[in-house]
Structure 1
Amino acid sequence: TQVCSSQGKMTTDREITVDDESAAAFVTSHGIDITPNKDQGVIKVVKRLGVDGERPMIGDKVYVHYTGKLLNGKKFDSSLDRKQPFSFNLGKGQVIKAWDVGVASMQRGEVCLFLCKPEYAYGTTGSPRKIAPNSSLLFEVELLSFKGEELTEDGGIVRRIKVKGQGFRYPNVGATVSVHLQGSCDGKIFDSRDVSFVVGEGDDVNVPLGVDRAMEKMQEGECCLLYLKPKYGFGKEGCPNLNIGPNAELMYEVTLHSFQKAKESWEMDVKEKLALAMQVKQKGTQYFKAGRYPQAVIQYQRIVSWLEIECLLDDEQQSPVRDILLVAQLNLALCHLRLREYTCAVHNCNKAIELDERSEKALYRRGEARLLCNEFSLAMDDFQRVLQVNPSNRAARTQISVCQQKIREHHERDKKIYANMFQKFAERDAKVQLASPLVAVMSLRGLIVCMLSLVLQILTDTSSHEVGRPLHNVSSDSHVDSVGDPSEQHMIMRLTKETTTKMAISP
């Protein structure tokens, strides 16, 4: 018995499995061609309808169970045997063509059979020791679940492609893009317009960071849905101009109509890079002063991408290159401190110190980042190096005191931990001493080992271990650096709730 589903796919209530040698013949006679060109390359029969009408989109991460058979009934692969679902990104060429075509037609929970011609399977090469060349295959596939493509490591930007773009070119930072966007929040549309902007500077026209960053992943003509967490939307400030409150999750539908790429690094000479770097630095500083730290990071990173390799050159232009590159690294470190991205801040400080090992700002900011990571001894080393460069730096002296206090607190906690351990050993020894002399000896041995460990712990630098949460009572309020700016203000450091000092840094 066959019935036609509401989606137009042939379904059956007959018990068909890929072990049934007649399955291929049944699919051929009762299935439908789901290939775009209608060339009979993939024939589908639905065994079980899905639970909802939504289907995966291009780029979605899909999770399936499957069994693959040759037409003679011989199984060559099955995720069920491994007892683990198989996952891939749909429409990205990560699997055989039949799967990209077939799974795109499925709904969540659906089970179906696909009969695939060789050109949609393993073609003229086959698969060594499993599939002969020019073999047609039969798959039973169950679509378990799917989700959008995560464009960031933290999952803050999720993309689902409705219409695939054309070509192999993508906008870069600095490119001018023309898009149509429609933003919604809680199901209500708050923004719908055509707009042009420079990638990396979308904030200037109320385009959120997540949409701005997604531009680098889009092709011309692409239409996609972007799901943005508050960090990549309008953050805790919201956007009063668009009536968006704080910490709102947003959804944008974006169509990239056209774009004009910015020059790549290899297309510019050193003079052009330096001139453009000065402009970009000013833009980054504007974002920093406005509290738009992620946008500032984008601008300073452009400078690094252009000039880092130029430092290897030995010519008359190396000095100005090193100067502005040092500023970019220092300002990146400061932005990452504001964003509480301390590992990144340490990385940028390390790069700055490679350029100038006596950079007071780099040493101080690295010390700050390490202190906020509870790496107390490393932080203290950095602050001591600051004093070697500038003995009058009172902020560094205060930070050293903070580090010393934290180290003492850390050791005191260790002592309490070991004291409790000793008490437990003593109580246990009292219980077993009369019953078993051997057990008593072993307990005494354990006590001695713990005592030796405590002594070594106190004598050894343990401050690099994480203890509790990061210290959020230490923050940097210094301004971004500039090249040749004699009016630079002092760096204000809030060291503790009771103490506020200023750190003077030379321009």
Structure 2
Amino acid sequence: MTTDKDLSMDGHAAVAVFSAKGVDITPNKDQGVFKVVKRQGLDGDRPMIGDRVSVHYTGKLLNGKKFDSSLDRKEPFCFNLGKGQVIKAWDMSVMSMQRGEVCMLLCKPEYAYGAAGNPPKVPPNSSLLFEVELLNFEGELLTDDGGIMRRIKVRGDGYSNPNDGATVEVHLEGRCGDRLFDSRDVRFVVGEGEDKGIPLGVDRAMEKMQKGECCIIYLKSKYGFGKEGKPEYKIGPNTELVYEVTLKDFQKAKESWEMELNEKLDLSARVKHKGNQYFKAGQFFQAVIQYQRIVSWLEMECGAGMEQQKRIQELLLLSQLNLALCFLRLKELSHVVENCNKVIELDGKNEKALYRRGEAHLLRNEFSLAMADFRHVLQVNSSNRAARAQISMCQLKMREHHERDKRIYANMFQKFAEHDAKVGKMKRRRDESLKSNMNGEVGIKRRRRSQDCP
């Protein structure tokens, strides 16, 4: 075990100690980073590329002078492993650690701050000593709701990633608990993985992968096979899954700027049809992907002629309306309002957009806004019975909320009154007690004065 004394000796002695006790963890074994385990960690998993890790550390120069410490700040240091966010020595060493492990590192300049150093605390060309404790680590979250988490086993090549519409070739293995239920090589179009029995979460993760990468993808049920499950794989409803995926090759789809307008219009018609198929099958997330592709292609376009302009507006209106409907089904109400607003900007009297925005406002208990939308629908189409029914529903909900608020406030005021009465009663008792005590003291003083009289 390395001691603090080992960390304060001169450079040559420190190298000798680490050479004798440590392990060279550099890929080419050039003795650039030596590691000595000071305290063994817990048996089990080790961090992978891209994991979010949390550590405590102390860094010293070879003369023993401390230049940095998370312990002094009383706050762990967090970073994404293998992403170049820290010095090379750390990316190498932390990947070799277990949760709870404490290790000592001796790092040559080329694996630390190099020829420039890190002024003013770290001089140029400095070898450094670190004590590092790995507190915790978890995979990289690919969605805001934590539904897709990725851990990279093997780093891919280059900086290019598949995009929506790209054709990918992968090898995948799907597991439910300890059971392997799917193992195959498969070719599919990103955004249309459902056609090949590939869950939404794996499809969405493709845009983060690089050629040759092998990663483990953890899926919450929403991004797996959802409430329906997958009977052919014997996957029940609301089941979490784990996939190991290797991206063998891919061919990117054309980006928007690479396509002519007529090509975008023709492709949009095909993608709209695909989105409609997903919607009818109840696969609303997959439908959203298709409609959003159309919007991304056409939102900034203006046709050269009247006919092109008309087709652009028709496709945009339909896509935004369909997105609003998908988001209604998914209960993502802010997105419903956003997409309806975009339709209304193009067509202020669009009956469907006004109605769907009203539905979203109603579900958010924004009754005044909902009623305004449904009344606007009736101005556009006075025979819309659904809008009339929704106005009645808004009025009913407003009365219910008003009555509930009255009960809440009545109870609140009753409690205030009871509290005030209780406080008043206690105050009267205290005043009466004080008055009684004062009267008693006055009587005693009078008796004493009468006894003192000659």
Alignment of 1:20 onto 2:8: yes
Give the alignment partner of residue 297 of structure 1, picking from 281, 288, 291. 288
Structure 1 portions without partners, runs of 5+: 1-11, 438-507
Q: Which amino acid is 1:21 matched to?
A: M
Q: CA deviation at 1:319?
A: 1.9
Given residue 103 of structure 2, which amino acid in structure 1 is its aligned partner? Answer: C
Describe the superposition over 1:154-186 as per-residue Cα deviations: whole angstroms up to 9, x where unpaired: 111111111100011100111111111111112
Write out aligned runs for 1:68-467 (5 A).
Answer: 68-311=59-302, 315-316=305-306, 317-431=308-422
Distance 2:9 2:81 in 1: 29
Partner SS for 1:143:
strand
Deviates more, 1:39-48 or 1:16-25: 16-25
- Contact 1:326–1:352 (CA under 8 A) maintained in structure 2: yes
Per-residue deviation, residues 357-400 of structure 1 (Å, max 9, x unmatched): 11110110011111111111111111111111111111111111
Q: Distance in 2 between matches of 1:133 and 1:315?
A: 64
Which letter does structure 2 place at the counterpart of 1:221?
G
Q: CA deviation at 1:40?
A: 1.8
Judge conservation of contact 1:18–1:139 (CA < 8 Å) in 2: no
Separation in structure 2 between the aligned mates of residue 426 and residue 252 of structure 1, nearest angstrom: 62
What is the alpha-carbon distance in structure 2 between the residues aligned to residue 105 and residue 268 of structure 1? Answer: 46
The alpha carbon displacement at 1:314 in A equals 6.8
In structure 1, how many angstroms separate the alpha carbons of the residues matched to 2:29 and 2:259? Answer: 48
Task: Work out the number of aligned pairs and report it.
Answer: 424
- Residue deviations 1:443-463 (CA, integer Å, cap 9, x gap): xxxxxxxxxxxxxxxxxxxxx
Deviation at 1:115, TM superposition (A): 1.1
Alpha-carbon distance in structure 2 between the residues aligned to 1:371 and 1:127: 57
SS of the residue corresponding to residue 364 of structure 1 reads helix
Q: CA-to-partner distance for each residue in 1:8-32, whole Å, 9 max, x for gaps?
A: xxxx2x5337863368342244322
In 2, the alpha carbon distance for the partners of 1:200 and 1:382 equals 34
1:71 shift after superposition: 1.4
Deviations 1:187-219 (A, max 9, x none): 111111111001111111111111111111110
SS of the aligned residue for 2:174 comes to strand
Q: 2:225·2:238 contact (CA, 8 Å) conserved in 1?
A: yes
| Deviation for aligned residue 1:404 | 1.3
Which residue identity is paired with 2:165?
G
Cα distance, 1:270 vs structure 2: 1.1
Amino acid at match of 2:221: P
**Aligned CA distance change for structure 1 residues 379 and 100 (closer, same or farther; 3 Å):** same
**Contact 1:28 1:115 (C-alpha < 8 Å) held by counterparts:** no
Segments of 5+ residues of structure 2 without an aligned counterpart are 429-454
What do the CA deviations read for 1:316-337 (whole angstroms, capped 9, x no partner)?
Answer: 3222101100100000010011
Contact 2:8/2:62, CA 8 A, preserved across alignment: no
- 1:499 corresponding residue in structure 2: none
Over aligned residues, Cα RMSD in angstroms?
1.8
With over 3 angstroms needed to count, the CA separation of the structure-2 counterparts of 1:51 and 1:393, relative to structure 1, is: same
Distance 1:74 1:330 in 2: 65
- The one-letter amino acid paired with 1:321 is I
Q: CA deviation at 1:38?
A: 1.5
Q: TM-score, normalised by structure 2?
A: 0.90
Could you tell me the percent identity over the aligned residues?
Answer: 71
Q: Which has the larger radius of gyration?
A: 2
2: distance between equivalents of 1:433 and 1:157? 59
> In structure 1, the residue corresponding to 2:248 is in which secondary structure?
strand
Q: Distance in 2 between matches of 1:37 and 1:200?
A: 40
Match of 2:445 in 1: none
Are 1:33 and 1:43, in contact at CA under 8 Å, matched by a contact in 2?
yes
Q: Cα distance, 1:433 vs. partner?
A: 5.2
